[in-house]
Amino acid sequence: MTERLYYDNAYLTEFDGVVEKVSVRNGKRIAALNRSAFYPTSGGQPFDTGMLNGARVTDVFVDADGEVWHEIDGELSVGDRVHGKIDWARRFDHMQQHGGEHMIAGAVYALTGGMTIGLHLGAETSSIDVEFADGTTHADDALIRRIEDYVNIRIQQDHPVRCWFPDADELARLPLRKAPTVKEHVRIVAMGDFEMVACGGTHPSSTGQIGLVKIVSAAPARGKLRLTFVCGMRAYQDYRANYDAAWAAANALSTRPEKLAETVLSLQNRLKEAEHALNALRREKILSDAHSWVERAAHTQEGHLLITEHVDGDMAALKDAASAIIREPNRIALLAAGTGEKCSLLFARSDDVDIHMGKLLADAVKPLGGKGGGRPDFAQGSGPAETLEAAKKML
């Protein structure tokens, strides 16, 4: 069985060992050693990468018997002496995220009594789910800030982090946050005197090395509260990205980041007012144009006044124009707005005209690839502007 060197020293980056077993999994070579500092995917923490002699380690996992296997892109044989080297930047990042997770879990328990389950350490963010006794799945901003304060104050105090395998008597006396899931070889991690739980992962040797913890979202997930967070360099990079984004937006608006929300809200209000005024002007123009449309209108064979116009506006403008036109008797309005294959189309008629607008629009627009229909006196649809000419020929 592999001796797991990271249990005693999470800072061991190079080691020597002997290949004890080789095999193939999913077409890839795998090797088990007598001893290894490589962390295998477990407890929500991903595997280490690195080198075994000249072979790159691309995955590390534990089999059902507890043996640690290294997936390699080179060749190793049983009995080979190997020098292992783990990718420290990746490992230390995982240690920071994992250490931060313990601190958040401890803070949640200390402040609310909520129990955390299921660490997921992702490539960008990590998450844990919180179960509250009253079934609540929400946390307000004030609670999230209290958790962040609790954690970051204890990071700055730089408490020691200790990992060890207690005997049964000692284990029974330890004030663990929750009961261990394993019965034998229980490994304990304690952070200062405020957090103690069973864990087989890798952690920094003091809380100060976690650097900074920021909760980036708190949202319900599967009946629990999911806290998503970043720690260490990830938190620093997140701060820098947000700082840059906030200043870029603030500079564009000639303000400061702390005034951004206020400035954007005021801009939105001004934009709404401007749109409102523009729509009112467009409507006014269409209504005044409607008079000239009537003047140049044609007559159908049955003697109805036929207004066919392509209008600069939207469906709301078309409705205004149509209702102004058909207020007088004996009129038919065939109106379009927009360009291309999906113009807004509106057909309407005066009450005394006995022609079905819905049917007329459907018959004219369908052969042209558009769609539309409606009531006998009023119909709307979308299609090419040629629909107007097609409908005119049907009258």
Residue 176's Cβ-count burial label (10 Å; 0-12, 13-18, 19+) is middle
**Is the distance from CB of 344 to CB of 336 less than 8 angstroms?**
yes
What's the one-letter identity of residue 117? I
Number of chain positions touching Zn ion (CB under 5 A):
2
Report, in Å, the least distance between residue 203 CB and Zn ion: 5
Smaller CB separation from Zn ion, 38 or 378? 38
DSSP for 322-378, written as a single string: HHHHTTSSSEEEEEEESSGGGEEEEEEE-TT----HHHHHHHHHGGGT-EEEE-SSE
Strands 3-4 and 14-25: unpaired
Smaller CB separation from Zn ion, 199 or 333? 199
Beta bridge partners of 217: 228
Smaller CB separation from Zn ion, 201 or 383? 201
Report, in Å, the least distance between residue 279 CB and Zn ion: 60
Query: Could you say which residues in the range 182-201 bind Zn ion, by CB under 5 A?
Result: 199, 201
* Residue facing Zn ion at closest CB distance: 199
d(CA 198, CA 62): 18
**Distance set, CA 368 to CA 142, 176, 385, 390, 391 (Å):** 59, 74, 10, 9, 11
Report, in Å, the least distance between residue 103 CB and Zn ion: 10
What number of other Cβ atoms are within 10 A of residue 382's Cβ?
18
Smaller CB separation from Zn ion, 31 or 163? 163
d(CA 326, CA 350): 5
Report, in Å, the least distance between residue 199 CB and Zn ion: 3
Report, in Å, the least distance between residue 244 CB and Zn ion: 32
Report, in Å, the least distance between residue 63 CB and Zn ion: 22
Smaller CB separation from Zn ion, 5 or 199? 199
Smaller CB separation from Zn ion, 93 or 377? 93
Q: Give CA 345 to chain center in angstroms.
A: 39
Report, in Å, the least distance between residue 201 CB and Zn ion: 4
Smaller CB separation from Zn ion, 40 or 373? 40
Quick note: the x/- pattern for Zn ion over 141-180, rule CB under 5 A, is ----------------------------------------
Quick note: the x/- pattern for Zn ion over 198-217, rule CB under 5 A, is -x-x----------------
| Site membership for Zn ion, residue 231 (CB under 5 A) | no
Binding site for Zn ion (CB under 5 A): 199, 201
